[in-house]
A and B are shown apart, each in its own frame.
Chain A
Amino acid sequence: MTTVERVREEAAHIGAQPAAGQESGLTGDTVDLRVLKGVPGGAPEEVAYQVPMVTGMVVLDAVHYVQHNLDTDLACRWNCKAAKCGSCSAEVNGHPVLMCKTRIDELPAGPVVVHPLKTFPLIKDLVTDVSRNYEINREIPQFTPAPGDEGPWRIQQVDIDRLYEYRRCIECFLCQDVCHIMRSHHYADRFYGPRFFVRVASLEMHPKDVLNRVDQTRTDGGLGYCNITKCCTEVCPEHIHITDNAIIPLKERNADRHWDPVRFVGRFLRGERPAGDGTQQGH
Chain B
Amino acid sequence: MTPEPYDVIDRDVLVIGAGGAGMRAAIAAAEAGCSVAVFTKSLLGKAHTVMAEGGIAAGLGNVDADDSWEVHFADTMLGGQLLNNWRMVELYAHEVVDRVYELERWGGLFDRTPDGRIMQRAFGAHSWKRLAHVGDRTGLELIRTLQDRMVHTPGADVFMEYTLTALLKDGDRVSGAIGYNRNDGRFVVVRCGAVVLGSGGWGRMYRYTSNSWESTGDGAAIAYDAGADLLDMEFVQFHPTGMVWPPGARGILVTEAVRGEGGLLFNSEGARFMLEYDPVKKELSSRDVVARSIYKEVKAGRGSPHGGAFLDVRHLGAERIKRKLPSMYEQFHALASIDITRQPMEVGPTIHYTMGGVRVDAETGATTVAGLYAGGEVAGGLHGANRLGGNSLGDILVFGLRAGAAAADFAMSRRREPKNIDERQVTQEQQALLRPLDQGENGASPGENPYKLHEELQAVMQDDAGIGRSEESLQRALAAIQELRARAAHMRVSGGRVLNPGWHTCRDVSNMLTISEAIVRCALERRESRGSQWRFDHLDQSEELGQVNFVSRRDGEAMRVEAVPLEPLPERLRPLLERSRFYDPAKLPKGYMTARPARAGRKAG
- Partner-B contacts on A (CB < 8 A): 2-4, 6-8, 10-12, 14-25, 39, 54-58, 61, 67-69, 72-87, 101, 103, 123-125, 127, 129-131, 134, 137-138, 141-143, 145, 150-157, 160, 163-164, 167-168, 170-171, 203, 206, 208-209
Residue pair B297, A85 in contact (C-beta under 8 Å): no
Residue pair B463, A58 in contact (C-beta under 8 Å): no
> Would you mind naming 6 contact pairs between A and B with Cβ atoms under 8 Å apart?
A8-B539, A68-B451, A79-B213, A81-B212, A85-B46, A151-B104
Checking A16, A103, A127 against B473 with a beta-carbon cut-off of 8 angstroms, the contacting residue is A16
Q: Looking across the interface, which residue of chain B has its beta carbon closest to that of A54?
A: B247
Q: Looking across the interface, which residue of chain A has its beta carbon closest to that of B102?
A: A151
The CA-CA distance from A145 to B149 in the complex, in Å, is 13
Q: Given A19-B307, A20-B307, A58-B335 in contact, is the A3-B451 Cβ separation under 8 Å?
A: no
Binds A, one of B72-80, B133-141, B223-231: B133-141
Residue pair B334, A39 in contact (C-beta under 8 Å): no
Asked whether any CB of chain A lies closer than 8 Å to the CB of B148, the reply is yes
Residue pair B144, A167 in contact (C-beta under 8 Å): yes
Residue pair B183, A123 in contact (C-beta under 8 Å): yes
Most B-side CB within 10 Å, residue of A6, A11, A25, A150: A11
- Of all A-B residue pairs in the complex, the 10 with the closest CB atoms, nearest first, are A21-B307, A56-B246, A72-B502, A143-B107, A73-B495, A154-B116, A25-B247, A16-B473, A7-B296, A68-B451
Residue pair A85, B296 in contact (C-beta under 8 Å): no
With A138-B151, A160-B109 already in contact, 18 other A-B pairs whose C-beta atoms are closer than 8 Å? A3-B276, A8-B539, A16-B468, A20-B299, A20-B307, A21-B303, A25-B247, A67-B502, A74-B501, A78-B212, A83-B334, A123-B183, A142-B149, A150-B105, A152-B118, A153-B104, A154-B115, A155-B116
The CA-CA distance from A101 to B181 in the complex, in Å, is 28
Q: Which residues of B contact A141 (CB under 8 A)?
A: 152
Residue pair B109, A54 in contact (C-beta under 8 Å): no
The CA-CA distance from A203 to B114 in the complex, in Å, is 23
Most B-side CB within 10 Å, residue of A8, A24, A79, A141: A79
Most B-side CB within 10 Å, residue of A7, A124, A151: A7
Asked whether any CB of chain A lies closer than 8 Å to the CB of B499, the reply is yes
Q: Which residues of B contact A39 (CB under 8 A)?
A: 498
Q: Which residues of A contact B296 (CB under 8 A)?
A: 7-8, 10-11
The CA-CA distance from A74 to B248 in the complex, in Å, is 19
Smallest distance from the beta carbon of A92 to chain B beta carbons, Å? 14
Q: Looking across the interface, which residue of chain B has its beta carbon closest to that of A24?
A: B247
Residue pair B212, A79 in contact (C-beta under 8 Å): yes
Q: Which residues of A contact B111 (CB under 8 A)?
A: 157
Q: Which residues of B contact A123 (CB under 8 A)?
A: 183, 499
Q: Mark B190-214, 1 if CB is under 8 A from A, else 0.
A: 0000000000000000000000111
Checking B104, B141, B160 against A152 with a beta-carbon cut-off of 8 angstroms, the contacting residue is B104
Q: Which residues of B contact A79 (CB under 8 A)?
A: 42, 46-48, 50-51, 212-214
Checking A77, A81, A156 against B116 with a beta-carbon cut-off of 8 angstroms, the contacting residue is A156
The CA-CA distance from A21 to B527 in the complex, in Å, is 29
Asked whether any CB of chain A lies closer than 8 Å to the CB of B455, the reply is yes
Residue pair A163, B116 in contact (C-beta under 8 Å): no
Residue pair B244, A21 in contact (C-beta under 8 Å): yes
Asked whether any CB of chain A lies closer than 8 Å to the CB of B543, the reply is no
Q: Which residues of B contact A145 (CB under 8 A)?
A: 105
Asked whether any CB of chain A lies closer than 8 Å to the CB of B469, the reply is yes
The CA-CA distance from A83 to B141 in the complex, in Å, is 15
Checking A2, A6, A84, A203 against B137 with a beta-carbon cut-off of 8 angstroms, the contacting residue is A84
The CA-CA distance from A282 to B197 in the complex, in Å, is 49
Checking A7, A143, A156 against B112 with a beta-carbon cut-off of 8 angstroms, the contacting residue is A156
Q: Which residues of B contact A68 (CB under 8 A)?
A: 449, 451-452, 455
Smallest distance from the beta carbon of B151 to chain A beta carbons, Å? 5
Number of chain B residues close to chain A: CB under 8 A: 100
Checking B51, B116, B449, B503 against A84 with a beta-carbon cut-off of 8 angstroms, the contacting residue is B51
The CA-CA distance from A61 to B349 in the complex, in Å, is 21
Smallest distance from the beta carbon of B282 to chain A beta carbons, Å? 13
Smallest distance from the beta carbon of A152 to chain B beta carbons, Å? 5
Smallest distance from the beta carbon of A251 to chain B beta carbons, Å? 23
Q: Given A56-B335, A72-B451, A206-B107 in contact, is the A152-B101 Cβ separation under 8 Å?
A: yes
Q: Which residues of B contact A85 (CB under 8 A)?
A: 45-46, 50-51, 212
Most A-side CB within 10 Å, residue of B44, B140, B452: B140
Residue pair B500, A73 in contact (C-beta under 8 Å): yes
Residue pair A56, B105 in contact (C-beta under 8 Å): no
Q: Given A84-B327, A164-B135 in contact, is the A73-B105 Cβ separation under 8 Å?
A: no
Smallest distance from the beta carbon of A27 to chain B beta carbons, Å? 11
Q: Given A12-B539, A54-B246 in contact, is the A125-B300 Cβ separation under 8 Å?
A: no
Asked whether any CB of chain A lies closer than 8 Å to the CB of B569, the reply is no
Residue pair A130, B500 in contact (C-beta under 8 Å): no
Q: Mark B79-121, 1 if CB is under 8 A from A, else 0.
A: 0000000000000000000000100111101011011111000
Asked whether any CB of chain A lies closer than 8 Å to the CB of B439, the reply is no
Checking B46, B135, B151, B463 against A17 with a beta-carbon cut-off of 8 angstroms, the contacting residue is B463
Asked whether any CB of chain A lies closer than 8 Å to the CB of B512, the reply is no
Q: Given A137-B151, A143-B148, A156-B116 in contact, is the A80-B212 Cβ separation under 8 Å?
A: yes
Q: Which residues of B contact A80 (CB under 8 A)?
A: 46, 50-51, 212
The CA-CA distance from A203 to B135 in the complex, in Å, is 19
Q: Which residues of A contact B252 (CB under 8 A)?
A: 81-82
The CA-CA distance from A134 to B158 in the complex, in Å, is 10
Checking A12, A21, A124 against B308 with a beta-carbon cut-off of 8 angstroms, the contacting residue is A21
Q: Which residues of B contact A23 (CB under 8 A)?
A: 247, 306
Q: Which residues of A contact B472 (CB under 8 A)?
A: 15
The CA-CA distance from A86 to B96 in the complex, in Å, is 28
Q: Which residues of B contact A14 (CB under 8 A)?
A: 299, 468, 536
The CA-CA distance from A143 to B151 in the complex, in Å, is 12
Q: Given A55-B247, A151-B101 in contact, is the A83-B331 Cβ separation under 8 Å?
A: yes
Q: Mark B21-44, 1 if CB is under 8 A from A, else 0.
A: 000000000000000000000111
The CA-CA distance from A211 to B337 in the complex, in Å, is 44
Q: Given A19-B298, A56-B246, A123-B183 in contact, is the A160-B112 Cβ separation under 8 Å?
A: yes
Asked whether any CB of chain A lies closer than 8 Å to the CB of B305, the reply is yes
User: Which residues from 325 to 378 on chain B have a C-beta closer than 8 Å to any C-beta of chain A?
Assistant: 327, 330-331, 334-337, 348-349
Q: Which residues of B contact A16 (CB under 8 A)?
A: 463-464, 466, 468-470, 473, 536
Asked whether any CB of chain A lies closer than 8 Å to the CB of B222, the reply is no
The CA-CA distance from A150 to B98 in the complex, in Å, is 12
Most B-side CB within 10 Å, residue of A21, A131, A145: A21
Residue pair A103, B212 in contact (C-beta under 8 Å): no
Residue pair A167, B140 in contact (C-beta under 8 Å): yes
Q: Given A68-B451, A85-B212, A206-B107 in contact, is the A19-B299 Cβ separation under 8 Å?
A: yes
Q: Which residues of B contact A24 (CB under 8 A)?
A: 247
Q: Given A67-B502, A73-B500, A79-B46 in contact, is the A152-B330 Cβ separation under 8 Å?
A: no
The CA-CA distance from A30 to B498 in the complex, in Å, is 30
Q: Which residues of A contact B117 (CB under 8 A)?
A: 152, 154
The CA-CA distance from A67 to B127 in the complex, in Å, is 46
Q: Which residues of B contact A153 (CB under 8 A)?
A: 104, 116
Q: Which residues of B contact A81 (CB under 8 A)?
A: 212, 249, 252
Asked whether any CB of chain A lies closer than 8 Å to the CB of B253, the reply is yes
Smallest distance from the beta carbon of B412 to chain A beta carbons, Å? 25
